[in-house]
Amino acid sequence: MAKEITLHIDGRPVSVPEGTTILQAAESIGIEIPRLCYFEGLPASGSCRLCLVEIEGQSRLAVSCMQRARDGMAVQTASKRVEASRRFILELIWSTHDGDCTTCEKAGACDLQRYTYDLDVDKEKYGLYAPELIPSDLGDPLLERNLRLCVLCGRCIRACREKSQGILDFMERGMSTIVTTSLNKPLADSGCDFCGSCIEVCPVGCLVERDRKLRGREWEFESAETVCGSCSLRCSQVLDIAHGEVVRARPGEDGYLCVRGKFGWDYLGSDERLRVPLVRNGDALEEATWEEAVSKAAKGLGGAGSVAGVVGPHVTNEAIQAFSDLLGTAFGSKDVTFTGGGVPFGVLSTFGDLNALAGVADVEKAKKILAVGPALAEGYPRARLAIKRAVDGGAKLIVIDSDDSELAALATVHLKPRAGSEADVLTGIAKALVEGDLHNGDAVAEVQGGSAAVETIRGSSTPETGVEPEKIAEAAKLFAKGKGVVVSSALSCEILSRSGALLLLTGRRRRALMPLHPSANPWAGVLLASAEAGGEPKGRYVLGADPAGSLPTTDFLVVQDLFLTETAKKADVVLPLRALAEEEGTVVGTGGKLVSVPAAVPSEIPATWQVLAEVAGAAGKTLPYGSIRDVSKAVKGAVSSAAGALQFPSLNGGGDPGEIRPYRRFDLPEPSWVARSQIRDGGVAPEIRTATEEVAA
């Protein structure tokens, strides 16, 4: 615990721990010192000179964002001399800031504008200097860079370094200094991954999302906190809504969004969204009222005789629960397939429940990280950031990747097997752990089949993977002790269950496994959907999934989705579906906990559970729910009662989820909205590899 010191700021006493900067100390008692280059959470640079303050007994003004507070100090944050200096700096900035606040997107949220107003700065004190030399838009996709507005604060440079690829810097020197990429190349050619972290920190209108332009002023925005639904990490996300439309996404509490979260939300307001139900009339799908469509769906499914359901991993637990109930109650079917792929099975079969699921905070705090699977960093930038932060903090990283990927460059040990033999490398590490007596015998003994498995491993032969045994031994030694996690981008039950085995061998059971999945809610579906495969069904209801290619034809097909997908085109009744951001409910989060998500964006489409209840009603049955809370209660019950036992997985098989629970494979194409987002047009979004490869195999 640092020593407390006391100082006076503007005559008011304040006590802070030693090491606090003057700026932070002032902030702790509500005194805001103007600043452009300082940004909380980024290293300070002291370059804008706006936060200068006067310290009694010191002739020079002090840079409050860098200078530490000292005991007994007397600081003036707004003396005449300080304000004169600030005004001078702002006058100078206005001589380079070729902007017009009336049309600038940042108006109302611009720090320069605010300080200019607060200090009544003469904007024309110094003449505007040759701005025509710099283009007002560098033409990058997704975001506009207008260097005529740049105030050289360098925040974006530091944000890019801390959170992303570190491609921005001060270029040129002296009076020609600009902030740009190396050789001033376009962002797309500089290794930018378009996370937009630079935009979040820009104090002025220099960096702006293209998509928000001319769609509303800052003060008209209503903000809604939600989670991004673009992968299983579900980063916190704030959606800004103006005139009933989402116009911008920002990182929430977590402080980071990748390109999918930052820019990939535009599908929400897409013209291609399904907003009214469609019913089949011969070859054509025609618009219908909800009543008509629901009754037709109920009648068609009811008349089909045997019905099956398919539900995707992008919807809430409540939607899955109500869907499963609808199939059971109204159509007497327990054949509900969840298309989340084999990954959840790999977790459930080993740990019995979902408590093993780790969150990004667990990865960031870990001391040992084992990362397995292709394009992990490229496909899941938030996981990359978590791993990078841990490594910067001294964590050891073992990477199993057949490519020299971005992550491999950070690795302490890079195991580079032949593609496809990643699971065998995990087996090899398990063997090295056991043979080196590095495993946690007591912890293993508590696991069903654990001690026997250890003996089996001891006697087994080492699978050939193309990795030198010494390297595997080194990895085993490294991973054996300390707070450890496994992060996997492989969508394979086999890799997940063997990762689980490694964690069980080393006594790590809670929040230790981070399987990455391209869907928002892939974990609970197998618990909520009553997957008892029946015979070939005559009628089928597909909710939020697009298994078109692998879906056998049925006599009657109902599809509920965001878009008219390939599957929906074949349907007899098509019902619109709320997106995750529009739906209240829960998803499964870190440690297997249920996380509530609000209906952040207003929607004209009824809530999914209500639609499903209507379908049940039209079929003459009633779902036992009066409100979304009732459905949530049922979800809670199902998830908690599903807790199974720890079970040591087989290190040879384990590749077929069907061995564990009834499971029917369907293709898992990328979410229906991805192709409809601007991030695809720009060609800048890294695709999540293995999204189709392994699951469809």
- Residue 10 CB, shortest distance to other proteins, in Å, is 19
Instruction: Confirm if 530 and 380 have CB atoms less than 8 A apart.
Output: no
Q: For residue 4, how far is the Cα from the chain centroid?
A: 38
- Name which position in 129, 622, 627, 644 contacts other proteins (CB under 8 A): 129
151 lies in the binding site for other proteins (CB under 8 A): yes
550 lies in the binding site for other proteins (CB under 8 A): no
123 lies in the binding site for other proteins (CB under 8 A): no
Would you say 76 or 652 has its CB closer to other proteins?
A: 76
Contact track, other proteins, 205-244, x by CB under 8 A: ----------------------------------------
- Name which position in 4, 172, 222, 291 contacts other proteins (CB under 8 A): 172
Would you say 96 or 350 has its CB closer to other proteins?
A: 96
Give kind and range of the element (H or E) at residue 318. helix 317-331
- Residue 93 CB, shortest distance to other proteins, in Å, is 7
Of 117, 13, 612, the residue nearest 316 (C-alpha): 612
**Cβ neighbour number for residue 624 with a 10 Å cutoff:** 11
- Residue 31 CB, shortest distance to other proteins, in Å, is 20
- Residue 204 CB, shortest distance to other proteins, in Å, is 12
Q: What share of residues in the chain are helix, strand, coil (percent, to 5)?
A: 35, 20, 45
Task: Give all strands (DSSP E) within 277-416, no chain letters.
Answer: 278-281, 284-287, 307-311, 336-338, 368-372, 396-400, 413-415
- Residue 34 CB, shortest distance to other proteins, in Å, is 13
Tell me the number of residues near other proteins by CB under 8 A. 35
170 lies in the binding site for other proteins (CB under 8 A): yes
576 SS3 class: strand
Of 484, 441, 423, the residue nearest 694 (C-alpha): 423
153 lies in the binding site for other proteins (CB under 8 A): yes
Would you say 63 or 493 has its CB closer to other proteins?
A: 63
Of 485, 529, 513, the residue nearest 351 (C-alpha): 513
Instruction: Confirm if 673 and 266 have CB atoms less than 8 A apart.
Output: no
- Residue 25 CB, shortest distance to other proteins, in Å, is 21
- Residue 175 CB, shortest distance to other proteins, in Å, is 5
Amino acid at 615: V
Q: For residue 172, how far is the Cα from the chain centroid?
A: 36
- Residue 95 CB, shortest distance to other proteins, in Å, is 6
| Tokens 């469809």 -> residue | 696
| Tokens 């899941």 -> residue | 380
| Tokens 């990328």 -> residue | 670
- Residue 113 CB, shortest distance to other proteins, in Å, is 17
| Tokens 């892939």 -> residue | 522
**Cβ neighbour number for residue 53 with a 10 Å cutoff:** 26
290 lies in the binding site for other proteins (CB under 8 A): no
Stretch that binds other proteins, among 21-29, 174-182, 270-278, 498-506 (CB under 8 A): 174-182
Task: Classify residue 627 as left (phi > 0), alpha (psi -120 to 50) or beta.
Answer: beta
- Name which position in 78, 107, 138, 152 contacts other proteins (CB under 8 A): 152
Adjacent-strand bridge partners of 5: 16
Amino acid at 365: K
- Name which position in 9, 36, 246, 493 contacts other proteins (CB under 8 A): 36
Pair of tokens at residue 28: 């702790």
Residues in 41-100 that interact with other proteins by CB under 8 A: 46-49, 52, 60-61, 63, 81, 84-85, 88-89, 91-93, 95-96
161 lies in the binding site for other proteins (CB under 8 A): no
- Residue 130 CB, shortest distance to other proteins, in Å, is 9
- Residue 84 CB, shortest distance to other proteins, in Å, is 7
Stretch that binds other proteins, among 167-175, 305-313, 346-354, 434-442 (CB under 8 A): 167-175
- Name which position in 37, 110, 363, 618 contacts other proteins (CB under 8 A): 37
Would you say 154 or 515 has its CB closer to other proteins?
A: 154
CA distance 636 to 113: 49
535 SS3 class: coil
127 lies in the binding site for other proteins (CB under 8 A): yes
Would you say 1 or 175 has its CB closer to other proteins?
A: 175
Between strands 336-338 and 368-372, the pairing is unpaired
Would you say 154 or 381 has its CB closer to other proteins?
A: 154
Would you say 117 or 129 has its CB closer to other proteins?
A: 129
Instruction: Confirm if 209 and 180 have CB atoms less than 8 A apart.
Output: no
Would you say 59 or 461 has its CB closer to other proteins?
A: 59
- Name which position in 174, 394, 535, 552 contacts other proteins (CB under 8 A): 174
- Residue 184 CB, shortest distance to other proteins, in Å, is 16
Residues in 319-338 that interact with other proteins by CB under 8 A: none
Task: Give all strands (DSSP E) within 88-221, no chain letters.
Answer: 143-145, 168-171, 178-181, 207-209
CA dihedral angle for residue 294, residue 298, residue 299, residue 303, rounded to 10 degrees: 160
Would you say 152 or 594 has its CB closer to other proteins?
A: 152
- Name which position in 68, 79, 109, 126 contacts other proteins (CB under 8 A): 126
Of 180, 102, 112, the residue nearest 151 (C-alpha): 112
Amino acid at 93: I
CA distance 551 to 666: 7
119 lies in the binding site for other proteins (CB under 8 A): no
561 SS3 class: strand
- Name which position in 1, 2, 133, 175 contacts other proteins (CB under 8 A): 175
Interaction site with other proteins (CB under 8 A): 36-37, 46-49, 52, 60-61, 63, 81, 84-85, 88-89, 91-93, 95-96, 125-127, 129, 151-154, 170, 172-177
